[in-house]
Amino acid sequence: MENQKMPISSVSNLKDLNMISRPVANFPPSIWGDRFINYACEDENDQAQKEKQVEELKELVRRELAITVDKPLQQLNIIDATQRLGIAYLFENEIEESLEHIYLHTYVENTCFEGSDDLYSVALWFRLLRQNDYRVSCDVFNKFRDNEGNFKNNLMEDTKGLLELYEATHLSVHGEEMLDDALEFTKTRLESVVSHLNYPLAEQVRHALYQPLHKGLPRLEAVYFFRIYEAHASHNKALLKLAKLDFNLLQSFHKKELSDIARWWKSLDFAAKFPFARDRLVEGYFWVLGVYFEPQYSLARKIIIKVFTMISTIDDIYDAYGTLDELELFTKAMQRWDVGSLDQLPEYMKPCYKSILDVYNEIEVEMDNQGSLFRMHYAKEVMKKLVEGYMDEAKWCHEKYVPTFQEYMSVALVTSGYTFLTTISYLGMGEIASKEAFDWLFSHPPVIEASESVGRLMDDTRSHKFEQERGHVASGIECYMKQYGVTEEEARDEFRKRLVKAWKDINEECLRPYRVPKPLLMRILNLTRVIDVIYKNEDGYTHVKKAMKDNIASLLIDPMIV
């Protein structure tokens, strides 16, 4: 990061200085320009025709689920395809009833089903039930191990079964050493055979090794799975057509949504007012789509993306521009939460502070209309706490202080922003986001701490080098290295272990019985998945390269060919 001299004219209360040294980060500009501002509405007749086709195809799929009720393996395969193609949200009740029936008959009553001695079928059964939060035991895989506890040699050639078992292992919880062994066993074997496989199995294995299904974004995984599913001669044509039609309808819906938000964002002119900050509206909207893509959450998306853009700018004010004195003023203004505080701020901070108040006032009107005004208390408090965390880190950076790892994490979990984003994600979700749900969230349950940990550890692992080069606050990697006297690679190994633990915590907390309604837990899981996708190899939010561009294009630019 360069320390650049900036004119004092933009700063108040510091008139004794002519120039101020600022730690400017030189973030890359937005690559999208005004691309998403204009949206051409689809012809109403075409739209109506597609919607009619969707309803007809939905009825066909419902019938198939009904007629396979006594054929668990067939039903599991239909459910799996439905979920992987991104249309499970259209059949939530039917899928729930089917899996409940399968769970009762094959697990509670221990009734054998076709394929119950086949690795692929058992792993599919286990994964789908775990994926849908049923507490089924991994002991079902004992039959595939020898007397010494090793997986049998005859499984080595069952690539399809190994792949399904590999996917299932990512749903493990603490104490399931068998699944830990299975992950190592399947990963090693799949890596050794992938170059010798034919399409589409080779592509499935390659993709799974890069992006396990459980940690991927459902809509993004659907884009990948379309071509895999279509390559199988036995694919369900009605299901595939339904998935493609629905994908395109939803894509149009999302593009219209983004167009509206893009016009609002441009009217604020933040790119010009805060040239030092990341201009990442489109990337932020992609992030939000990962949290919920379903049409019923349109209001929730509109709320969170506006707040998301605000907090991204605030993060950069603290992280890449503001002086300590200015940041103290901003922190105090946020605690007061009063338009009168504008007069106490430097000129350049005023548009951001006012926009935050405006956005929150807009949300407050919506909450009042819904009779949910109580939610605003939580939304404001979580913002205040986040800004306090940013201030703590700014002080550390100014003092060149390297805290202990424990002290660092006590602040860094907050500044990961994941309790903040989860809270904001609940605002537009309707009646299920009750006061009890917000109180539960503010009690900092294990699933939230685990989600924060994934966010912080992956961010620090991927952005450590760039941030240290620009004079950023000490990262978790740096703190851990100093405290324990280890190398960077040893610190990274420890972070990987902690990530495994955090995912197990999340998996455990998502199992039945639920402490809060499942849709609320899904926001936490999906927020964690977003981090896994965007930060898999680098900080894809800050440095928008090919992987991020392709992901955005696949969801917001390229339609499916039906």
Q: Give, to the nearest 10 degrees, the angle between helix 375-399 and helix 324-336.
A: 170
Token pair listed for 319: 């992280």
Token pair listed for 333: 């203004």
| Beta carbons within 8 Å of 165's beta carbon, 6+ residues apart | 119, 123, 141, 182, 186
Binding residues for Mg(2+): 315, 319, 467
User: Would you list the DSSP string of 485-498?
Assistant: T--HHHHHHHHHHH
Token pair listed for 546: 């090919």
The alpha carbons of the chain give a radius of gyration, in whole angstroms, of 25
Cis peptide before 403 (omega within 30 of 0): no
Token pair listed for 410: 């006590």
| Beta carbons within 8 Å of 112's beta carbon, 6+ residues apart | 106
Spatial distance between the Cα atoms of 461 and 27, rounded to a whole number of angstroms: 19
Inter-CA distances, 390 with 155, 320, 329, 379, 421, Å: 51, 11, 13, 17, 15
Q: Where are the alpha helices (DSSP H) in 37-173?
A: 44-67, 72-84, 92-103, 119-131, 159-169
Inter-CA distances, 550 with 187, 255, 556, 558, Å: 26, 16, 10, 10
Binding residues: 315, 319, 467
Inter-CA distances, 89 with 235, 285, 327, Å: 20, 20, 44
Residue showing tokens 């994941």: 418
Long-range contacts for 340-347 (Cβ within 8 Å, ≥24 apart)?
Answer: 345/12, 346/10, 346/11, 346/12, 346/13, 346/14, 347/10, 347/11, 347/12
